[in-house]
Structure 1
Amino acid sequence: MAHPYHHALSSVKMWGGCVEDYLAIHDWFDASKAITADFRHRALRHHAEGVFMAETIFGPTLTLLSGRVIPTRWVGEQHVREDLGAIPSFADWVKSIRPEPWMGRTQRIERDADPVLPDRTTA
């Protein structure tokens, strides 16, 4: 789906209520478009852990304006399934990221972290 609004319309068809009942959750899933405006934004939240993170942020249930209570997880799972056809794990996304040399570089920080170690830049 192209826009959180369309996901919210789909939620209304599934569970009733109105677009405003669901829009915040669908906006949250797609907020990563601010970082990269193509499908890769989905790697940040469109997976099983993202669905559980939405539940942590929005609470375990969602009370519609009509008074009906539905699990927040249902809405997150709906969003991810509509975009990807299934709910992958974060590991599924990571397996598809091509490692680059800069991703594994580390620097020794012991001197910065432990003031007892001698500063080798002055020796």
Structure 2
Amino acid sequence: SFDRKSLTYTIDENNLIPYYIGRIQLIDIDQLSFFHYKYYLKEPSSQILIEPQTGSIILLIKLDREIHGKKLQYEIHAINNYNKKNLTDILVININDLNDHGPLFEKDNYQISLNKSIQPGKHIFQ
């Protein structure tokens, strides 16, 4: 079976690419390590690559949470050609939102009047 910890990752948005996310791992409860699995995405993706021999997960594009959403999910397969055993699970990549966008204003300039007795930390404009 898949090691559950190797199926969920959290990364910051806007990473340099290619970016190594982690590695899919199996739990060998029978200790039959001579069975070698190959790892695949169910559907090809332009976003990530899974290296078949090692299970390494490589990010191929810069992710932006505002564009791609808070998480990506991929169906993955581990296939053992020796005994034809196939495993399937879901890989989840959570995307941390960085403060990479400044505030948006409706106008270029605003004019307000302030009383000089206003204390620091008080709300003055919205």
TM-score, with structure 2 as normaliser: 0.31
Structure whose residues are more often helix by fraction: 1
Higher RCO (C-alpha 8 Å, min separation 6): 2
Structure whose residues are more often strand by fraction: 2
TM-score, with structure 1 as normaliser: 0.31
